Structure 1
């Protein structure tokens, strides 16, 4: 059963383990899809925002903290970037950032909930920007887990998982079988990327995700940044590759082509974000 966003006295809140994360604003849309509760709000501070099952997903003046961190370490480091797979990402922000790279020739986005896409295009149009009409972009409304399982070996140069917390329709995006398929469908020199939760608010999920990716791919490292509207404000993204930690070394030409248009990501920021692993997480991962 889905959870609704909690609305009281002009505040829209996500409640997580005794803490609430809220924005002052108004609810524009609150609908139940076949998969989850979708809420679109207009906030005073961050503009229009999206919640799924009562959990914050994105907002107009927060989304770059998340999307730039998820996309550019992968697309600036993979051996090639002609074919990209995005699983989830129905608001369009991840696809938009991917398509800023001129080397991308085809991008498949597989989003399970078509209503998320519909409402995002209508109410959060700035997130997707021109991605919806880009001839390189192909949207499939369907199950990304099944898509990965059914793809041929070495189908993509980069695979990006832009899913919500590991519950409901996103639950299957955080398990060994799915990650093994993601490795199988990557081409040699490919890079895998996923959001990997907060090391504070979702500590065990974060640790389990990083460990599992290290085991499946051989090389995986978390990168740390901030998305102030998310639980704790402290977030992570984890990158993996089979042939070494190539995701830590952006290719200068690709980086230069996109960095000027970024608000958060840069090669310098990325270096610091990989190095910003907290001591307690580093000890856990080394144990």
Structure 2
């Protein structure tokens, strides 16, 4: 999930190097190809099963993905007033769509992924991550530019908008700026929830702070949630949730939560409460500091 220098290969290991630290898994590369946007790599690891890298950066793995996807999806889907229409921007491995579609109240889900090779290889090599999402009649895939999709969608098109992008570089760079967040706010219905991954508070501290700050300014209400994805830089990760009518994402709907929690490995209402409260003191001070005149 990080822009990184090209690592020196170690026999039997696949590595991402970021800011002087190596994050690696023992295993082997089973497929690699340059798409029009990035280098797509599929690996088979000893510990976490098959995994995906983009431009040499860890994206997901079969036995890590729930640490990420459950935390991104369920605070949003259990917090929005309605969940009939959902938009996922990115998410080409299918994990976010799969978790969304576990909610029976979802009637229509649009997923817009810019890189068709990521979708093709995820379906072929990482089928367990997407699960049944690819054949669910509620699921509608568009291979295209999610930024343009948001800009062209009508006002109030979606109850939930989820951004499941990689780091702010390459094809995902435009997913981390005020203009894009303003479009997401525009297409969100009243009572809706916006969610995005918002980087590591340790490995990407300033990017994290800036992202949360801008989202809070655009939506009026936004809070980061903290968890762990051990394969990512520092292992410590965040997701940010926003709404225009209050901090509704903090209180999961009991019926929706009960319907999905038994199938979760990480997320639960109790875990969510702790994860929102786990904001580091220095990050909280930075987010609450008065803006410069």
For the aligned pair, the TM-score class normalised by the smaller chain equals: over 0.9
5 Å matches for 1:20-169? 20-169=22-171
CA distance in 2, matches of 1:6, 1:211: 36
Q: CA deviation at 1:8?
A: 1.7
Deviations 1:213-270 (A, max 9, x none): 0000000000000000000000000000000000000000000000000000000000
CA distance in 2, matches of 1:158, 1:92: 17
Deviations 1:32-53 (A, max 9, x none): 0000000000000000000000
Whether the 8 Å contact between 2:5 and 2:18 is mirrored in structure 1 is: no
Whether the 8 Å contact between 1:5 and 1:53 is mirrored in structure 2 is: no
SS in 2 for 1:247: helix
Q: CA deviation at 1:2?
A: 9.9
**Structure 1 segments (4+ residues) deviating >4 Å:** 1-6
CA distance in 1, matches of 2:9, 2:225: 33
Query: Is residue 201 of structure 2 the alignment partner of residue 205 of structure 1?
Result: no
SS in 1 for 2:80: coil
* Aligned counterpart, 1:235: 237
CA gap of 1:45–1:74, structure 2 versus 1, over 3 A, is same
Q: CA deviation at 1:7?
A: 3.2
* Aligned counterpart, 2:10: 8
1:272 to 274, 279, 291: 274
CA distance in 2, matches of 1:138, 1:249: 29
CA gap of 1:119–1:3, structure 2 versus 1, over 3 A, is farther
Whether the 8 Å contact between 1:2 and 1:37 is mirrored in structure 2 is: no
Whether the 8 Å contact between 1:6 and 1:54 is mirrored in structure 2 is: no
SS in 1 for 2:81: coil
* Aligned counterpart, 1:192: 194
Whether the 8 Å contact between 1:5 and 1:39 is mirrored in structure 2 is: no
Whether the 8 Å contact between 1:90 and 1:113 is mirrored in structure 2 is: yes
CA gap of 1:5–1:182, structure 2 versus 1, over 3 A, is farther
Runs of 5+ unmatched residues, structure 2: none
Q: Under a length normalisation based on structure 1, what TM-score does the superposition of the two structures give?
A: 0.98
Q: CA deviation at 1:5?
A: 6.5
Q: CA deviation at 1:4?
A: 6.0
CA gap of 1:2–1:268, structure 2 versus 1, over 3 A, is closer
Whether the 8 Å contact between 1:57 and 1:164 is mirrored in structure 2 is: yes
CA distance in 2, matches of 1:194, 1:2: 21
CA gap of 1:2–1:275, structure 2 versus 1, over 3 A, is closer
